[in-house]
Structure 1
Amino acid sequence: MSERLDLDDFSDLIERPHGRLRREAEERRTLTGLPPQALGRLDELGEWLGSAQARVPVRPVAAPRLVVFAGDHGVAAQGVSARAAGTAVELVREMLEGASPAAVLARRFEVPVRVVDMALDCAPDELPTEVTRHRVRRSSGRLDTEDALTPEEAEEAFRAGMAVADEEADAGTDLVVLGDLSVGGTTAAGTLIAALCGTDASVVTGRGGGGIDDLTWMRKCAAIRDGLRRARPVLGDQLQLLATVGGADLTAMTGFLLQSAVRHTPVILDGVVSAACALVGQRVAFRAPDWWLAGQTTGEPAQAKALDRLALDPLLDQGVAVGGGTGALLALPLVRAAAALAAELPAGEPGEPDGSAPGDAEDAGADSTPGGRGAVDAT
């Protein structure tokens, strides 16, 4: 029997990307001869990647992966979504068959896709074993009237997310594009964000990926309001908060984000669901958001609230709300371009021909690469 999960451990294990190397990246950039600000945010991205990789000049992004957590939510039975309750498995099949927007972009950008079923409302044998092996339960509970998960299920889901992060780091994934597929997930995300930001349900209730009508919006707002009443008493315990109103997929995504930060694996966030999980992760370990990028803004008010709290400025504003990591994938070419420019633009004197001092990578230490420093045990 493993020890009970202590989220306080993440505050000690998560450290910021190397500030010294970010300064070195800035100094190298000045030696390229380009005017300051000429590359806009690409400069900032390149410096961020260099500090995350603990290497100047930065390595190209060579092994990205789209990781998508999937699940159904009991609250969807209240008519809060444009899709029928319990139909997230259809979205998963579409992605696995390569027919979803995210799957099309991933194929075009040559990004492998991994789907992790945490609580789909279907029999496990309807999907491949590699998709369902981390499943905690069949659909999460109805957050407006009951806990989405038991405490034991919440810990299991959180550890599953950590395990997936470890598996990706061990496999050499150097950048994760994080997505979600769910029915009712934006209602859970809105509840978490409203609770953590201290706002009313109406402030965070958006139209979701399906563009819901006014009556559905009112039902969704009522569900978030009722979920908020249940969430506020447990705000001091982040794992209990996720069990109360988050559900298995959001709980796993939070564990994934935190363990990715421990393992020094940068992550691009997609929409409101990943933003909600990041906000919970920030409450657990305040340095963790330094390892995450906001890929795009969806137009969801809850996402805007969360990103403001996280101090993350989205790379793109295309209003993509279909989920599955679609919007975050659109940001990937920008990140790759920033890495290429930071790595390949010639830098003049002083210093080495590539603008870096001898032994930069060695001085940073092997524990600063993805998969480096000791991780919270997810077993």
Structure 2
Amino acid sequence: MSVDGWNTVLVLGGIRSGKSEFAESLVSEAAVVRYVATAPEGDPEDTEWAARLAAHRERRPGSWTTEETAGDPRRLADVIAAAEPNETLLVDDLGGWVTVLLDPAHQPADDTATVAELAAAVRGCAARLVLVSPEVGLSLVPVTPVGRAFTDALGATNRAVADACDAVVLVVAGQPSWLKPAANAAPATTATPAAVQPALAPTVAAPPVAAPPVTVNGTATEPTPELVPLPEVLTPPPPMPAVTEGGSGWSAPTMALPVVATGLVIQPGMELPMPDEYAGPQAIERLATLDVPGAGLGVLDRVVGFAAATQGTPTPAAWGATRVLLLHGDHAGGAAAGTMPGESARRARQARAGQGALARMAAESGASLQVVDAPTAGPIENEPALTGEQVESALRYGWRLAEEAAESGVQLLVLAACGAGTEAAAAAVLAATAGAEPPAVLGRVVTDAGEIDDAAWMRRCAAVRDALHRTRRSPRGAKDVLAELGGGDIAVATGVLLGATARRIPVMLDGPVGLAAGMVSRDLAGQARHWCLLADHGGQPAARLAADVLGLTPVLDLRLDLGEGANALAALPLLRSVLSLAASLPVHPTLGGAAEPDDEETDVEEDPGAEPEFTEPEPAGPGPTSTEPEEQPVDPSGWRAG
């Protein structure tokens, strides 16, 4: 990803809106730009059109090179896909490309497949890419069939390319309005010529969030300033009050949430992307054709299907960049019964320093580890876990964490948690959303010495029971459950799931916190659970129930008791190996795959003095391979002759 926060951007605009000038300004600082012209030359007698093309040519700097694709519209996808990472491409424009695509001279053509090929090339483009396209969706429906065909095709193209691009900007009267901004970029204010207009420059950055106070032996102490940098805000935010010394950034109002493709913010009923409904089944069918011994991959074929659906291809690749988000947030009151004060803070500091089981497992798996501090939740048996402002802040913070991961090239997120009372908070969320009984979903409490503490377990059950009694008449909406029962870690995890879904990043869940977040996210965006993979339920009753409700089947049954995230990291190398194997194995020769070379066809230098190998003589008459018997003469008496 480029330093300005985007790698591919679509510039939309009406006629004479200034969209081309703005697009040129975005690449003005590039040393070399390849200008891809898509429009045909047109009628030689059309002087006005020729003048437009000439004005475009004169505006380009002399260092730019020009490439024409009007002769073959399908070649545009090849040009984009073959671009190198150090190149900069400016495609102007998609309206001309659609015009050529619909030209009868290029028919018959599968227009839908060609648009899909272009979108796939844009999504996988390694170069910096700017595409210009007219926005015709705001005009009247054309009265001619040709006009309607053009507007329909261009609208479908704009939607497909916008979905594939990192950023989308609409230029109206020379003023850019960012519809789909990149996380590390803010829009320029005006669309001035390329010689004056700078490239996308960041304007406002969100301040870091300080770690909350740590309670050790009943005394609140300020931890070492371990700041978690937030990604830059995606839309112009309202002024944010400064954080007072010794306070927490969670107490301040959150900046505006980035607007997703549908124009919605974090609220119930969001429409977020779904995985590809066809790629998953196609990947499973493809596994049956591979040249593998035995019965194949067994239960691991579900991993291939999940990866295929989330990547949108029947041949998914093994996940590369993986990030573990370790959510650190304590819960006060009876929910934390049986835990040592300050233990979770020590675990978090240990992980930040690259020490401890989770950090070592992440290093072995080639995954990065980010520790995220969440606000401490209040005692749910007596009061709400969080305020409404804290819930909104935590949700948006989690969303921004997922956005920042996507901009960093992360292909898989692993949700983990370490905090006092997380199991009881997750049990309370399950009881409120799935009607579970707290004693049935609360696991046994095991002390650091390995002993079972039944008294602590009973205090946890009582805390959840009292919390449910306190909130028996409260609403059961997602944000209400997070505020009354969930706490900061579950709220941040919910925001991560939603943000990852918006950016099409799969999430591996491991532990009660992530699964409780999955339960809450159903009310906000039901699509989120389809982007989740459960490596192992860990033998925890809360995880078992939540997985059953969410329709998540654990891939393995390791039951490591090393904290949340350990099961996922232990399974990650195996899952990567399965994906690599499924992507690289050939098709079985009996199903059309390449046959292995025959020994008789191997080129071996013959010995002139050697005797020729014996060959079986051809039978004179019909042999055992004959498909039809030789006709026999028939004796009039009814007996076969001879």
TM-score by length of 2: 0.49
Relative to structure 1, the CA distance from residue 208 to residue 193 in structure 2 (aligned partners, 3 Å threshold; closer, same or farther) is: farther
> How far apart are 1:175 and its partner, in Å?
0.7
Q: Which residues of 2 match residues 146-157 of structure 1 at below 5 A?
A: 146-157=383-394
- Greater Rg over alpha carbons, structure: 2
Match in the other structure for 1:220: 460
Q: What secondary structure, in the 3-state scheme, does the structure 2 residue paired with 1:32 have?
A: coil
> How far apart are 1:208 and its partner, in Å?
5.0
Does residue 344 of structure 1 match 2:603? no
- Paired with 1:209 and 1:266, the residues of 2 have a C-alpha distance of 32
CA contact (8 A) 1:272 1:298 kept: no
Match in the other structure for 1:193: 430
> How far apart are 1:83 and its partner, in Å?
2.1
Match in the other structure for 1:7: 267
Relative to structure 1, the CA distance from residue 264 to residue 197 in structure 2 (aligned partners, 3 Å threshold; closer, same or farther) is: same
Match in the other structure for 1:252: 492
Does residue 301 of structure 1 match 2:541? yes
- Paired with 2:316 and 2:352, the residues of 1 have a C-alpha distance of 33
Q: Which residues of 2 match residues 256-267 of structure 1 at below 5 A?
A: 256-267=496-507
Does residue 92 of structure 1 match 2:348? yes
- Paired with 2:294 and 2:471, the residues of 1 have a C-alpha distance of 47
Equivalent position to 1:109, from 365, 381, 390: 365
Relative to structure 1, the CA distance from residue 195 to residue 176 in structure 2 (aligned partners, 3 Å threshold; closer, same or farther) is: same
Does residue 80 of structure 1 match 2:317? no
Segments of 5+ residues of structure 1 without an aligned counterpart are 120-138, 354-379
Q: Encode CA deviations 1:3-42: one digit per residue, 9 max, x unaligned.
A: 79542252x1232x11221232133223214478421122
Over aligned residue pairs, what C-alpha RMSD do you find? 2.3
Higher relative contact order (CA 8 A, sep 6+): 1
Count residues in correspondence. Answer: 330
- Paired with 1:48 and 1:352, the residues of 2 have a C-alpha distance of 25
Q: What secondary structure, in the 3-state scheme, does the structure 1 residue paired with 2:508 have?
A: strand
Q: What secondary structure, in the 3-state scheme, does the structure 1 residue paired with 2:533 have?
A: strand
- Paired with 1:79 and 1:156, the residues of 2 have a C-alpha distance of 24
> How far apart are 1:235 and its partner, in Å?
4.8
Relative to structure 1, the CA distance from residue 200 to residue 324 in structure 2 (aligned partners, 3 Å threshold; closer, same or farther) is: closer
Relative to structure 1, the CA distance from residue 221 to residue 54 in structure 2 (aligned partners, 3 Å threshold; closer, same or farther) is: same
Q: What secondary structure, in the 3-state scheme, does the structure 2 residue paired with 1:297 have?
A: coil
Q: Encode CA deviations 1:207-230: one digit per residue, 9 max, x unaligned.
A: 257565011011011011112223
Counterpart amino acid of 2:381?
D
- Paired with 2:292 and 2:382, the residues of 1 have a C-alpha distance of 58
Segments of 5+ residues of structure 2 without an aligned counterpart are 1-237, 239-255, 258-263, 595-642
- Paired with 1:199 and 1:60, the residues of 2 have a C-alpha distance of 37
Counterpart amino acid of 2:404?
E
- Paired with 2:493 and 2:575, the residues of 1 have a C-alpha distance of 22
Does residue 54 of structure 1 match 2:294? no
Relative to structure 1, the CA distance from residue 79 to residue 13 in structure 2 (aligned partners, 3 Å threshold; closer, same or farther) is: closer
Counterpart amino acid of 2:330?
D
- Paired with 1:324 and 1:95, the residues of 2 have a C-alpha distance of 13
> How far apart are 1:294 and its partner, in Å?
0.9
Relative to structure 1, the CA distance from residue 233 to residue 334 in structure 2 (aligned partners, 3 Å threshold; closer, same or farther) is: farther
Equivalent position to 1:22, from 261, 272, 280: 280
- Paired with 2:549 and 2:446, the residues of 1 have a C-alpha distance of 22
Relative to structure 1, the CA distance from residue 257 to residue 345 in structure 2 (aligned partners, 3 Å threshold; closer, same or farther) is: same
Match in the other structure for 2:35: none
Match in the other structure for 1:128: none
CA contact (8 A) 1:196 1:235 kept: no
CA contact (8 A) 2:327 2:416 kept: yes
> How far apart are 1:58 and its partner, in Å?
1.2
Counterpart amino acid of 1:186?
E
- Paired with 1:254 and 1:29, the residues of 2 have a C-alpha distance of 34
TM-score by length of 1: 0.81
- Paired with 2:580 and 2:493, the residues of 1 have a C-alpha distance of 29
CA contact (8 A) 1:14 1:285 kept: no
Relative to structure 1, the CA distance from residue 252 to residue 262 in structure 2 (aligned partners, 3 Å threshold; closer, same or farther) is: same
Match in the other structure for 2:78: none
Relative to structure 1, the CA distance from residue 194 to residue 320 in structure 2 (aligned partners, 3 Å threshold; closer, same or farther) is: farther
- Paired with 1:79 and 1:118, the residues of 2 have a C-alpha distance of 16
- Paired with 2:321 and 2:340, the residues of 1 have a C-alpha distance of 34
Higher helix share: 1
Relative to structure 1, the CA distance from residue 97 to residue 208 in structure 2 (aligned partners, 3 Å threshold; closer, same or farther) is: farther
Match in the other structure for 2:17: none
